[in-house]
Amino acid sequence: MSAAPRAKYLLRFDDLCPTMDWAAWEALERIMDEQGVQPVLGVVPDNRDRKLMVAPAAPDFWDRVRRWQAKGWAIGLHGYQHTYVNAEPGILRLNKQSEFAGLSYAEQHEKLRLGLSLFEREGVRADAWIAPAHSFDWVTVSALNALGLRVISDGFAFGPYRDSQGSTWVPQQFASMRPMPFGLWTFCYHPNGLSPQGIETFRRSLEQLRPGMISLAEAVALGRRPRSAPDRLVGALRMAVSGLRRMGKPQGKPQGKPQGKPQGKP
């Protein structure tokens, strides 16, 4: 009998909306159904981002979202309209653009409320928060808590943990699958523009790591501890790498006027 894998893995997909790349997505969905995995899907409630308008809108989009949730796939609230209004990097400081970081509590709460209301209208439950561009601040976390959404798919750590406000963070560390010796690792993919070669690489990687794949609910159940010093080291190293990468490439321009300053942790 082979030993159980030490590392655990979670798949996440961002930018799901009516005008996504459906050909790529349907290929990915077939692979995940064949492998029996339960990913986290970042659904944009009311997409206004032209970069995500890559195919004709699917008239049955919300039917599809309800089917995904019915088969046990987690649905994440991926912002509100996926439009960047300022150049704030937020808590994680990965990208200098944000739909939320730096805005007032009232502005953030209203955006989140509207997004959750759209989900509710369509009969969809938000299982987690997924910030566009990984950019949100502690004001966002407070507003999410007030609205009853206490799971965050983001951050850097060796595994899920609980912050001082009572939210559970399920870290998201890599953009593609790779074997790890221990810990819990979330791999985040963007279906738009994923090539046939990329999809085949995805298939082979998933076959390799399938024994360690878990669901979001299983990951959240592991997050009853505070963030540790080793977790913070992972975060510091990841932010340093991201900072070096930002120095070598231009950032996208905000899609609106800057609104306010970053808010500190309460």
Average pLDDT, the chain: 89
- The pLDDT score that the predictor gives to residue 251 is 47
Q: How confident is the model at residue 127 (pLDDT cuts 50, 70, 90)?
A: very high
Res 234: pLDDT: 74
Q: Quick one: pLDDT band at residue 248, thresholds 50, 70, 90?
A: low
Give the C-alpha separation, 95 to 98, whole Å.
8
Mean pLDDT for 183-190 is: 96
Which option is the CATH number for 8-247: 3.40.50.720, 3.40.50.300, 3.20.20.370, 3.40.640.10? 3.20.20.370
Quick one: pLDDT at residue 96?
92
Is the predicted pLDDT of residue 193 greater than 60, yes or no?
yes
pLDDT for 238? 65
Q: Locate 156 and state its tokens.
A: 């850097």
- Collect contacts of 242-246 with beta carbons under 8 A, ≥24 apart: 242/93, 242/94, 243/93, 246/95, 246/96
pLDDT of residue 240: 61
Q: What is the pLDDT of residue 259?
A: 37
Q: Please, what sign has the CA dihedral across residues 14, 19, 23, 29? A: positive
Average pLDDT over every residue of 137-149? 98
Q: How far apart, in whole angstroms, are the C-alpha atoms of residue 16 and residue 21? A: 9
User: What does the pLDDT average to over 19-41?
Assistant: 98
Domain positions in the chain are: 8-247
Nearest to 34 by CA among 218, 216, 210: 210
Rg, the chain, Cα only: 18
- The residue among 171 and 246 whose pLDDT is bigger is 171
Tokens 């080793």, residue located: 230
Structure tokens, 73 = 């796939």
pLDDT score of 224: 84
Q: Over 50: is that where the pLDDT of 47 sits?
A: yes
Residue 255 has pLDDT above 80, yes or no: no
Mean pLDDT lowest among 79-93, 143-157, 236-250: 236-250
Structure confidence at residue 5 (pLDDT): 59
- What's this model's pTM, rounded to 2 decimal places? 0.87
User: Does the structure show a pLDDT above 90 at 24?
Assistant: yes
Greater pLDDT, 120 or 230: 120
